[in-house]
Amino acid sequence: MEVTETLRQLGVTLAESADTDLVVHSPIDGSQIASLQCSTMVEVQASIAQAVEAFEVWRDVPAPKRGELIRLFGNALRTCKEPLARLVTVENGKILEEGRGEVQEMIDICDFAVGLSRQLYGLTIASERLEHAMQENWLPLGPIGVITAFNFPVAVWSWNAAIALVCGDPVVWKPSEKTPLTALACQAIFAQACAQFSHTTGQAIPKGLVHVLLGGADVGDWLVTDQRLPLISATGSCRMGKIIGPKVAARLGRSLLELGGNNAAVVSDKADLDVAFQSILFGAVGTCGQRCTTIRRVIAQERIYNTVFERLKTAYQSIAAHQIGNPLDAGTLVGPLIDHAAFAAMQSALQAAREQGGSVLFGERLLATSYPHAYYVTPALVQIPSQVDIVRAETFAPILYVIPYTRLDEAIAVHNEVPQGLSSAIFTTDLRQAEYFKRRSDCGIVNVNIGTSGAEIGGAFGGEKDTGGGRESGSDAWKNYMRRQTSTTYYGTAKPTLAQGIRFDVG
């Protein structure tokens, strides 16, 4: 797969060392593509210390100048889009078209952050006291820790990094141990942007503005428990978030958690089914079901339930027959699962679905002869009469449960009856149904006549309940990376008054 050449194009040279403890495999064929060294505790401590020093310099750089660095980074990503997309595909298995989309998302957030660098607005507040001026200011927060998952190995980091950097914060990044090469590539591309910034502006970039630390949960834990990182932004499973959240809270730090999703699409009997199926198919099988926004449940009105299921069955048969395979190949729609553990979890969930009354179609392993060390599967379709326990659990794999409903309020109750609350959708041509659903979905994202996947960076991304409550990108998510300060100034010449009319006369 010529990984070395792709890395070279991106400016990454892997150091030769006999002392390696992080072996990287491609899910495409299970082959080893790199062997790296995990960061030690000493290295983590030193990186955080360097980020603290960088903060003292970067916080005083005017925000529009910080935005200029992100503009250059976005341009560097445009130049490197194709090799970086290819590396994403090789390292995490999503099809090349999705890899390109992920890098484009990085470019888009850079554009967004550049504009934002001139819009970090505070407030002027009317004071109750004569000749007093009140302001609300937003100031850089400090170095932030970012922990990302394998399924979006570069985009989610960029959501945090682009905005954090224009806000004045250095970034210490711990990528998934399954996808470290893409992180090293991003660091190299960012270094190119820093060099260009220094050349064109004459201003040096402080050393250690962006760090990449490699390793497993222990490295992440060192970040989570370090008082010098006022914010930890973590993307991963609900289980992971329930470990990280209390640890950060124990030191009175902030956490921004983007966790799991058990997303549903309600299909009304007033839906345009041609519109619905295009969105449902991508939402259910894209990235081999390994998105937090994957459609995992279709809740279909009983009058059209059989039609919906049969159309899905036909589409799944077509995908299984022709469009599962090497994600670097043209025409492939579904690549592999990330590893054997994901395959085992999928098979366990399908067995539980059978035992709990579901009828399972597809879901078997494919291409085992061609790729004995990789895990390709046919996306599974489960016909099930009600939302049983296994349906309420998120399985990070392409399993789609199809459940009937009678009334819309019943469908919404089923929709909301899961621990997660990330993304939701309804397919209907009835405006009243659409608005009713939008106001009652308990998710952070709600869509009408489009699927649950494919969020744009202009909107805040995140969810409720076990999804963690965090919001990244869009809207006012920049406030996560800053601290709010209220300031009052007395500009008069007489004796200033106290708030609430308090009198405190001395002498």
In tens, the pLDDT along 199-224 reads 999 999 999 999 999 999 999 999 99
CB 87 within 8 A of CB 174: no
**Domain extents for the chain?**
3-119+143-259+468-472, 263-448
Query: Any catalytic annotation for residue 258?
Result: yes
C-alpha dihedral (293, 294, 296, 300), degrees to nearest 10: 90
> From CA 469, how far away is CA 257, in angstroms rounded?
7
- Candidate list 68, 91, 258, 472, residue with the active-site label: 258
Say what the pLDDT of residue 1 is.
56
Question: Which residues in the chain land under pLDDT 70?
Answer: 1, 17-18, 507
CATH number belonging to the domain at 3-119+143-259+468-472, selected among 3.40.50.1370, 3.50.50.60, 3.30.70.1050, 3.40.605.10: 3.40.605.10
Catalytic residue status for 355: no
Q: Is the dihedral of CA 495, 497, 501, 503 positive or negative?
A: negative
Residue partners of 418: CB distance under 8 A and separation at least 6: 262, 264, 387, 391, 392
User: Model's pTM, two decimal places?
Assistant: 0.96
**What span, in angstroms and rounded, lies between the C-alpha atoms of 155 and 153?**
6
pLDDT at position 454: 85
Q: What confidence score (pLDDT) does residue 505 get?
A: 84
Span 263-448 CATH architecture: 3-Layer(aba) Sandwich (3.40)
DSSP 445-496: EEEESS-S----TTS-B--EETT-S--BSSTTGGGGGEEEEEEEEE--SSPP
Alpha-helix runs per DSSP H in 93-126: 96-116
Find the catalytic residue in 80, 110, 186, 292.
292
